[in-house]
Structure 1
Amino acid sequence: MKTSYILQIFLSLIISVGATSCSDDDDYNPAPEKINFVLENDLLSFQKESASNSFRIKSEVAPQIDCGANWVNLELERLTASIYRLNVTVAENSGNDRTAIVKIISGTETKTLAINQSSTPLASVSDITAWLGLGWNPGNHMDAYKNGVADELCDFNYPLTQELFDKVKAAGFKTVRLPVTWLGHIGPAPDYKIDGRLERVAEIVGYAEKAGLNIIINIHHDGSGGYGYWLDFKPAAANVAKNLEVQDQIQKVWTQIAERFVDTGDFLIFEAFNEIHDGDWGWGANLTDNGRQYGLLNEWLQIFVDAVRSTGGKNATRYLGIPGYAGGWELIEHLEIPKDPTIGRMLVSVHCYSPGKFCQEFYDEGGNWTYLPEWGHTATEGKYPADDVDEEGLADIFRGLKARFTDNNIPVYIGEFTCTNRPSGRETEFRDYYLEYFCKAAHDCGLAPIFWDNNGPGLGAGQGAIFNRQTGEIIQNNASAVAAMVRAVSDDSPEYTLQSIYDRAPVKIEE
């Protein structure tokens, strides 16, 4: 039977009898400032399961709540004199998709809240991990820029093509993370209008859809990291006015991006930012400012979520990627998951370049740009330090992410990891071993790995391309590496374990 009910909070006023003013100006009684009637959200989305969510209401008087759906339970809670919280609980949905409309009345004003509940159950962490699969970044491409202007073709790049995306899919990848820098393509305040670059990004998103790939797009090198462009984190952390300016631009840029893709399917994921920090990669003022920078990033992430969700359409339930400070796993404990009007559609993004001297490169004592050639328990003495991250250390990183997030039903993807190309032989054996172990350890903890291809086509330090961007062909010694990574995230047979990979490490050479 249809039910209707009114929830009303009755306010008690305590009046002091005989109280008089102590002011000399007894006739001065300024009119109280009018409190506008505002809903924090006008749409909540749920999956099949019974679940709860809440949002705030600003109202001069206690609001009345009217709903005719018997599968919705509403409880109004007063937080301050003019701020209320509406707690919404939906029953499990055993039928088709359904919607309830809630009327919220403040005096003579009425606003509505839509509550959508799907008939589809929440995806599990393992479902999301399998859906994302193994991923690939076309790094230093749509994120590349020169002289403050992002340019897909700078550094002698070729345009990304449908053929390339088709071959990425054929190689066994399921997801492309497309880093996008917007520098030089955003107009002035107050509109911050994005130019035709947004249509080029949409074209590339179309390549992914046609190839059957998921795709993640983000705001990448737009000033985070102390470079002084519009996403200017360090000054924003120090100055309220600057922070408000940046927040306004974040809201307007992400609103435009979201509106362009409002009808695009779930294969598209939005990732808020890349590696936000003050220029010191986690070794700066964040260590001494009592959490100011960590809190600021959390504020920006909430603005991102609110901007995307406010556009409605497919964006009301789109998966959103949420990065921590400096992007990596090292400071992820400071991340606060934003409040989301949609249940179960938040993903955490982390980067993992551990151990850096093996999987990337460094300057040695002689000033040479180099890398360590071996890794793990069978590495030759002197070719990998015993006190750096080994197999157990790498697995521990992923176990920590599992304990914090995936064990709490929050999916995680490793948005960037890599290992530079090596000469064939023993060095490539260790590279393949590392990549297979990395991906399997991540997969076993419910984490989806996405390889950072830096577009360096050669061998050695700084050279980490998997695909030829012009032809889509796999280059260097990457056929075996790709096969190992694909197996690591897809083979769940009982005999294929992390231990079995460990036991197949390259043979140790005693010197």
Structure 2
Amino acid sequence: MPALLLAAGLSLLPTTGRTQLANPTYGWNLGNTLEATWSGAIMPTQTLINNVAAAGFNTLRIPCAWDHNADPNTHVINASYMATVTQVVQWAQAANLTVIINDHWDGGWFENSNFNTYDPNINAKLVSYWTQIATNFKNYNSKLLFAVANEPAVSSQAQTTVLLQYYQNFVNAVRATGGNNSTRWLVLQGPGGSNIDNTYDWVTSLPSDPAKHLAFEVHYYAPYQYALMSADASWGSMWYFWGSNYHSPTLTTRNATASTEESYVTSQLQKMQSKFTSQGIPVLLGEFGAIRRTGTAGLTGTELNRHLASRTYFDKTLVGQANSMGIRPVYWDDSDSGNGNNTFGIFNRSTGALTRPDDARALTGGAALPPPGG
């Protein structure tokens, strides 16, 4: 299918002159932490943030849950929560990290808000939160970016039109607070769970922005059988191995198919390049990754090592190809619970220590582990 161009007359966004994202970007998500709406999440420390920077990452995405931490009637954000997010942003900027804060799942108040019709009540809450957030951070430099949402549950072109109405009001609210928010980079999430294909097909225009500093965000967890699937199903089995040189000669049913490997990464990212980055519109690959399957029955010894090596190759491929097309990748880390099973985590959240240096190396421009045997 030929590249779908944005609406005629759309102003292109300048990519120079102001900080956007590091080039190349080696990004890391502080996942399942400040956006946690459950008890037991381990709060971040300055040691953790410093170790993220020391491992070679230069960008930190901080998922947030503002609605969960606000008065349900007045929508005033709790001062203690605002102070916590502010502290982490300060630690990150002190470590010379570019920072992105968003409104993550947050109970689904926005992302599952039924985009069939525009809801003034939803919009009022959105404007209230982002006015408060923007006011708090208005004097922070341009290495802090605001991302309006995470994975909006939009399933059609018509719903995307409604989504873009909310996005326009987000832009207006942030710009109205003045200070450095007048030109701060703002990130808009693609429809259908920040899906690449839906974004490519349904986004035909961008909100109006006097600063012309808008970027789009998509996520990448493909193929599902390799990246996220945690149990075999009637329609298909989990895959443990990804990459043309990483296929298992014995566990052959656990190999990803060729059509979902390197060439698929290229074809998907090229859609974002042709539609956005080639026109000067930055793209954030705000989440990507594949679960680590340690503890999986039947996956031991050489084949477990092959799986772990395959993951580093998957990450290196995503990071390298994205950066080569001007797309900025940020790895999803959901914290290492200690047993390491079915997790993305590469840092011990209690101590801040890097527990997976091989993963970190591949995610920050270094080499992937070779498959067992060479």
Task: Report the CA distance between 1:458 and its aligned residue.
Answer: 5.1
The verdict on how the C-alpha distance between 1:455 and 1:373 changes in structure 2, with shifts beyond 3 A counting, is same
Task: Report the CA distance between 1:437 and its aligned residue.
Answer: 1.3
Unpaired segments of 5 or more residues in structure 2? 1-8, 295-303
> Does 2:54 match 1:177?
no
Q: Is the 8 A contact 1:145 1:183 kept in 2?
A: no
> Does 2:310 match 1:430?
yes
Unpaired segments of 5 or more residues in structure 1? 1-51, 55-120, 147-153, 279-285, 489-495
**Corresponding residue SS for 1:233:** coil
Task: Report the CA distance between 1:383 and its aligned residue.
Answer: 1.9
Match of 2:189 among 323, 337, 361: 323
Which residue in 2 is equivalent to 1:491?
none
Q: Is the 8 A contact 1:359 1:371 kept in 2?
A: no
Structure 1 segment 91-170 matched on structure 2, within 5 A: 122-124=14-16, 128=20, 130-131=22-23, 133-146=25-38, 154=39, 156-170=40-54
Deviations 1:85-114 (A, max 9, x none): xxxxxxxxxxxxxxxxxxxxxxxxxxxxxx
Larger RCO (alpha carbons 8 Å, 6+ apart): 2
Of 420-429 and 258-267, more deviation after overlay is shown by: 420-429
Q: Is the 8 A contact 1:223 1:233 kept in 2?
A: no
Q: For this pair of structures, how many residues does the alignment match?
A: 348
Structure 1 segment 64-463 matched on structure 2, within 5 A: 122-124=14-16, 128=20, 130-131=22-23, 133-146=25-38, 154=39, 156-189=40-73, 191-196=74-79, 197-224=81-108, 229=109, 232-234=112-114, 237-238=116-117, 243-277=119-153, 286-287=155-156, 291-325=157-191, 326-333=193-200, 334-335=202-203, 336-343=205-212, 345-365=213-233, 371-378=238-245, 379-380=247-248, 381-386=252-257, 388-423=259-294, 425-457=305-337, 462-463=342-343
Task: Report the CA distance between 1:359 and its aligned residue.
Answer: 2.2
Distance, in Å, in 2 between the alignment partners of 1:383 and 1:230 is 37
**Corresponding residue SS for 1:448:** strand
**Corresponding residue SS for 1:217:** strand
**Corresponding residue SS for 2:127:** helix
Q: Is the 8 A contact 2:216 2:283 kept in 1?
A: yes
Distance, in Å, in 1 between the alignment partners of 2:72 and 2:317 is 47
Task: Report the CA distance between 1:390 and its aligned residue.
Answer: 1.1
Equivalent residue letter for 1:374: F
Distance, in Å, in 2 between the alignment partners of 1:505 and 1:393 is 21
Task: Report the CA distance between 1:123 and its aligned residue.
Answer: 3.7
TM-score, normalised with respect to structure 2: 0.84
Deviations 1:216-258 (A, max 9, x none): 111112343xxxx366521x534x5xx0111111111111110
Q: Is the 8 A contact 2:242 2:314 kept in 1?
A: yes
The verdict on how the C-alpha distance between 1:248 and 1:360 changes in structure 2, with shifts beyond 3 A counting, is same
Q: Is the 8 A contact 2:26 2:365 kept in 1?
A: no
Distance, in Å, in 2 between the alignment partners of 1:53 and 1:392 is 31
Task: Report the CA distance between 1:144 and its aligned residue.
Answer: 0.9
Distance, in Å, in 2 between the alignment partners of 1:331 and 1:461 is 31
**Corresponding residue SS for 2:244:** coil
**Corresponding residue SS for 2:364:** helix
Q: Is the 8 A contact 1:129 1:443 kept in 2?
A: no
The verdict on how the C-alpha distance between 1:331 and 1:458 changes in structure 2, with shifts beyond 3 A counting, is farther
The verdict on how the C-alpha distance between 1:253 and 1:451 changes in structure 2, with shifts beyond 3 A counting, is same
The verdict on how the C-alpha distance between 1:269 and 1:367 changes in structure 2, with shifts beyond 3 A counting, is same
The verdict on how the C-alpha distance between 1:470 and 1:456 changes in structure 2, with shifts beyond 3 A counting, is closer
The verdict on how the C-alpha distance between 1:311 and 1:175 changes in structure 2, with shifts beyond 3 A counting, is same
Identity percentage of aligned residues = 28
Q: Is the 8 A contact 1:162 1:211 kept in 2?
A: no
Q: Is the 8 A contact 1:371 1:461 kept in 2?
A: no
Equivalent residue letter for 1:168: V
Equivalent residue letter for 1:347: A
Distance, in Å, in 1 between the alignment partners of 2:16 and 2:293 is 37
Task: Report the CA distance between 1:124 and its aligned residue.
Answer: 4.2
> Structure 1 segments of 4 or more deviating over 6 A?
none
Distance, in Å, in 2 between the alignment partners of 1:387 and 1:459 is 31
Deviations 1:8-44 (A, max 9, x none): xxxxxxxxxxxxxxxxxxxxxxxxxxxxxxxxxxxxx
**Corresponding residue SS for 2:82:** helix
Distance, in Å, in 2 between the alignment partners of 1:479 and 1:422 is 17
Which residue in 1 is equivalent to 2:5?
none
Q: Is the 8 A contact 2:29 2:63 kept in 1?
A: yes
Query: Which of the two has higher C-alpha Rg?
Result: 1
The verdict on how the C-alpha distance between 1:244 and 1:138 changes in structure 2, with shifts beyond 3 A counting, is same
Instruction: Select the structure that is richer in helix.
Output: 2
**Corresponding residue SS for 1:145:** coil
Instruction: Select the structure that is richer in strand.
Output: 1
Q: Is the 8 A contact 2:62 2:100 kept in 1?
A: yes
Which residue in 1 is equivalent to 2:299?
none
Distance, in Å, in 2 between the alignment partners of 1:451 and 1:384 is 23
